Each structure stands twice: as structure tokens, then as C-alpha cells.
């Protein structure tokens, strides 16, 4: 992922709004616009990264919310995410952090985070083992 303003490679991005455009930028460039995502530097050292979301996560959030009969305001209180941000997530304009996504999954009993993040270790091991077998 790269900062859409200065091109610096970034591990975590800030979704900001600048003159009506939404950009994912680095920490430094985030100060040039209004930060939309909930990533806040002031919250200290807590590391927040964006979740690896499934395609159509917004629809899943909306369906989950409707199934539970929650309004945006009600869900907002349960997951500690502002209604406006939740709406943006349902419209897939705003991407939840892993933490937020996990909370939404828990509260709405849905699945929106891909489990890929755990797979690489398994794959690495299998590949290494396969290579060893092939070489010898
Ligand atoms: Zn930047």
C-alpha cells in the first residue's frame, strides 16, 4: 500500500477527505485533510491496521444489522463506531480496522474478515517441506 499523496510505502493508512476526494495516505499527509477513518494517533501505541476484508463486506454489515433489527445508532453504541462511519462502511466508502471489523463480526454474527493472514505460515512450511523433499 502506498500513500496516495506522496507515494511513500505505508503499513497503515489514514483515510482522509481533501476537497471532496477520499484518499488513503501516510501519517504525515493525513494532516492535510480531514481524517475519516477511526485511526487516531492520540490513542497511543495501539497498533491498528486495516482488516483484509471480504468482497461485499458492506452488504454483509447491512444485512447483519437488518437481521438483528438494529438501527445505525443502536449498532453504533454496541461497536463504538459513529453512525456516520458505520453508514460509510455499509456503502464501502470507509474501511474498518481489524479491531472494528472483529467487533462487527461478533455483534452482528457475520464474517467480513478473510482469514488469509494466518495462511502464509502454513504455506511457507508446506513449501519448505516440499522443496526439501524435491531437492533430496
Ligand atoms: Zn504521504
- Tell me how far the alpha carbon of residue 22 lies from the centroid of ligand 1, in angstroms: 14
Buried (b) or exposed (e) across 89-109, using 16+ Cβ within 10 A? bbeeebbbbbbbbebbbeebe
CA distance 14 to 119: 26
CA distance 112 to 13: 19
- Tell me how far the alpha carbon of residue 6 lies from the centroid of ligand 1, in angstroms: 4
Per-residue pLDDT at 54: 84
- pTM beyond 0.75: the answer is no
CA distances to 72, 103, 115 from 111, in Å? 19, 11, 10
Domains present along the chain, CATH in parentheses? 1-43 (no CATH), 57-115 (1.10.260.40)
pLDDT digits (tens, 9 = 90+) for 27-66: 889 888 888 764 434 344 444 455 578 889 999 999 999 9
Q: Burial, 24: exposed, middle or buried (Cβ in 10 Å; 0-12, 13-18, 19+)?
A: buried
- Tell me how far the alpha carbon of residue 1 lies from the centroid of ligand 1, in angstroms: 11
- Tell me how far the alpha carbon of residue 7 lies from the centroid of ligand 1, in angstroms: 6
Distant-in-sequence, close-in-space partners of 1: CB < 8 Å, separation ≥ 6: 9, 10, 11, 13, 24
Amino acid at each position: 500500500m502506498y500513500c496516495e499523496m506522496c507515494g511513500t510505502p505505508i503499513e497503515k493508512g489514514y483515510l482522509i477527505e481533501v476537497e471532496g476526494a477520499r484518499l488513503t495516505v501516510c501519517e504525515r499527509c493525513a494532516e492535510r485533510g480531514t481524517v475519516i477513518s477511526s485511526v487516531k494517533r492520540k490513542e497511543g501505541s495501539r497498533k491498528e491496521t486495516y482488516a483484509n476484508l471480504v468482497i461485499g463486506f458492506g452488504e454483509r454489515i447491512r444485512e447483519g444489522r437488518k437481521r438483528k433489527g438494529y438501527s445505525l445508532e443502536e449498532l453504533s453504541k454496541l461497536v463504538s463506531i459513529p453512525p456516520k462511519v458505520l453508514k460509510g462502511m455499509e456503502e464501502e466508502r470507509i474501511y474498518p480496522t481489524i479491531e472494528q471489523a472483529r467487533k462487527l463480526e461478533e455483534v452482528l454474527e457475520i464474517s467480513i474478515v478473510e482469514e488469509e493472514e494466518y495462511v502464509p505460515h502454513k504455506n511457507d512450511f508446506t513449501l519448505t517441506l516440499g522443496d526439501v523433499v524435491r531437492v533430496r
